[in-house]
Structure 1
């Protein structure tokens, strides 16, 4: 059924875009600040 191929690709593009935005949001709000806090605390501990 070749008439359905564009819908398949549009579906793939939409889902990958949604998954990427969700990943970027979760990394920027939850995961990366944790690493930044530990890194800053390590720097402060090393300066003592």
Structure 2
């Protein structure tokens, strides 16, 4: 049924944008700040250990 092909591609494109947006949101909100916080803690611990 060729008349359904545009809807199929629109559905794929919409789903892929939704997945991409959700992955970007989850990474930026939850995962990446933890890595930044971990790096700050590591540098702080390194600076403290070099003082002694």
Q: Which runs of 5+ in 1 are unaligned?
A: none
Structure-1-length-normalised TM-score: 0.90
Structure 1 runs of 4+ aligned residues shifted over 2 Å read none
Work out the number of aligned pairs and report it: 48
Structure-2-length-normalised TM-score: 0.84
Cα RMSD of the aligned pairs, angstroms, is 0.8
Larger Rg: 2
Q: Which runs of 5+ in 2 are unaligned?
A: none
